[in-house]
Structure 1
Amino acid sequence: MTKAATISGILFDKDGTLLDYARSWVPVNYELARVAALGDEDLARKLLVAGGMDPDTGHVMPDSLLAAGNTVEIAEGFVAAGAPFTVEALTIHFDGLFANSAQLAVAVTDLADFFATMHARGYWLGVASSDNEASIRATAKRFGFENYLHYVAGYDSGFGIKPEAGMVLGFCAATGLEPHQVAVVGDNNHDMHMGRNAGAGLTVAVLTGTGSRESLADASDYCLNDITELVPLFPEAAAARPAA
């Protein structure tokens, strides 16, 4: 029996996993820096570099602040690099920008169809993101998969932050699953380490975000091109799961 055959629930990251990171978030990163720099172009470039992004090419380093940080962490990093705001004020600005950006995001596949397929197979499904919960729900509504989710957790939902285990354990509490029955799917090592820290049965990396096969190899059981490759990887019927 493969590890995938023991899984009853799948917990997905959002950005870089459900959404194409480069097409969805590189433009947002430029806007974050512009807002945080109050329009000062030189400072905006400095902030992007501090966040792990090349301001000329748009390339974001794996596991950098902009690749894996939550809103507060990004605000802290930008303030430390010279943004003329308090962390609290910049966090509010960023949370609003992230929520609005859900309408501009680019999905990696037809998410409504993908989630419908996995739901029909009997899997419990959730999203755990370093973005805020409102942004996750806005994304799920826009792409038509909100009715297939059993659990949603953002950095502000009270389950802690990545790579801590709390979001996975919250998923287990919401579904009645044990960690070994859960697969965690994400695009960076914060996701993989969250899964490992929680004792998840499977960690699956995807290459639609900022990670590479090399950067993700140590902490993932599988490294896939994108989430569509989960369909043949997982059985057509989920492992037996407890009643809701």
Structure 2
Amino acid sequence: MDLSHIRGIVFDKDGTLFGFNATWTVWAKTFLTDLAKGNLQIATDLGQAIGYDFEAEAFLPTSVAIAGTPEDIADALLPHVPDRSKKDLIWVMNVAASEAPQAEVTPLAAFLSKLRDRGLMLGVATNDAEMPARTHLRSANIEGQFAFIAGSDSGFGGKPSAGQLQAFCQQVGLTPDEVLMVGDSSHDIAAGRALGCLTCGVLTGLAARKDLEQIADFVLPDISHLLVALGKGIEADQ
């Protein structure tokens, strides 16, 4: 597959730029324990509500936290915490998310610089809120590498809708067929396909290769393989 026409790349954040488990298992355990006021049984029950196995410290493949927005997660938790408002839940959730550790899937500053040296415009489209997303990017010293950063609360909606990608195209002056959407979940791929972008699945989230291969134009082990794929074609990198 020839990628020579690609002039912009939009990345998902969690599970794509940063490893999913290293960040969000810590977030879930901390956030749910605080929400349960230290009661392990209540924290375990809250974990079940969002598809998180508290004992195993792992997310289930069907967890709303994998590709959902903070609003989606809050909706799943609200019936179990009737004393909390949705607005309050989202605020506490976002603060905890901004403090969660980040594990880069590859040295991101150098990787993104190489992409920009090729003349590519870069963006981030995440279902996380914009505030913790920018905190994570800033902590890795890469916020300035992106011409566009959008969270689910930035005014463009969240994935699988294509609003964030459409806003990226408008901001940087590209057409959808010139843009590659890279992500680890079906929501990422669906958003790209909805707008007519080329799509790349990566295996640094929780989705299996066989599932991503059914919907993405191509699948790579992680984003670092894009450097070869963009220069020589997909077949050279697999």
TM-score calculated relative to the size of structure 2: 0.92
Deviation at residue 198 of structure 1 after TM alignment: 1.5
Alignment of 1:30-41 (within 5 A): 30-41=29-40
| 1:223 aligned counterpart, secondary structure | strand
Deviation at 1:97?
A: 1.4
Structure 2 distance, partners of 1:172, 1:81, is 40
SS in 1 for 2:61: coil
Gaps of 5+ in 2: 233-238
- 1:121 is matched with 118
The aligned residue for residue 194 of structure 2 is 197
Corresponding residue pairs, total: 232
Q: Secondary structure at the match of 1:196?
A: helix
Shift of 1:146: 2.1
2:130 to 126, 133, 150: 133
Deviations 1:115-167 (A, max 9, x none): 00000011110011111112222222221222221100001110111111100
**Residues 25, 4 of structure 1: alpha-carbon distance in 2 compared, 3 angstrom cutoff:** same
Contact persistence 1:36–1:85 (CA under 8 A): no
Tell me how far apart the structure 2 counterparts of residues 175 and 139 of structure 1 sit (CA, whole Å). Answer: 23
1:22-68 per-position Cα deviation (integer Å, ceiling 9, x unaligned): 11211111112223323221121122122122222223233521111
Q: Can you give the 5+ residue segments of structure 1 that lack an aligned partner in the other structure?
A: 237-244
Partners of 1:175 and 1:89 lie apart in 2 by 35
* Aligned 1:42-61 pairs, distance under 5 A: 42-61=41-60
- The 5 Å alignment of 1:86-105 reads 86-101=85-100, 104-105=101-102
The match for 1:5 is 4
Give the SS at the match of 2:225: helix
Partners of 2:187 and 2:62 in 1: how far apart?
7
| AA matched with 2:18 | L
Moved over 6 A (4+): none
Distance 2:22 2:69 in 1: 19
- Greater alpha carbon shift after TM alignment, 108-117 vs 62-71: 62-71
Q: C-alpha separation between the residues in 1 aligned to 2:135 and 2:86?
A: 24
So what's the TM-score if we normalise by structure 1?
0.89
Q: Considering only aligned residues, what root-mean-square deviation do their CA atoms show, in Å?
A: 1.6
Higher mean alpha-carbon deviation, 47-56 vs 147-156, is at 47-56
Name the aligned partner's letter for residue 109 of structure 1.
Answer: T
- Residue in 1 that maps onto 2:151: 154
